[in-house]
């Protein structure tokens, strides 16, 4: 029994790390991003971004944020 527990303690964290490293976005995350983008578009229509904010957004897009 102790050998089983040792193996479980050893391999369970490894399995969790491997399965948690998925880069695909789920439908809820995609919908959330669409809502965020729509909110940002509405904000920009009311209060247009200045040149520094536009530059910052360009850097964010290039980096992937």
Tens-place pLDDT, residues 1-47: 688 888 888 888 887 776 666 677 889 989 999 999 999 999 999 99
pTM of the full structure: 0.54
**Contact of 48 with 56, CB cutoff 8 Å:** no
**HSE, side-chain direction, 13 A CA sphere, residue 44:** 12
pLDDT (mean) for 38-61: 92
């Amino acid at each position: 029994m102790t050998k089983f527990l040792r193996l479980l303690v050893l391999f369970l964290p490894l399995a969790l790390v491997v399965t948690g490293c998925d880069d695909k976005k789920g439908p809820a995350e995609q919908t959330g991003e669409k809502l965020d983008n729509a909110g940002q578009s509405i904000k920009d229509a009311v209060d247009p971004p200045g040149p520094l904010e536009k530059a910052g957004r360009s850097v964010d897009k290039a980096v992937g944020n």
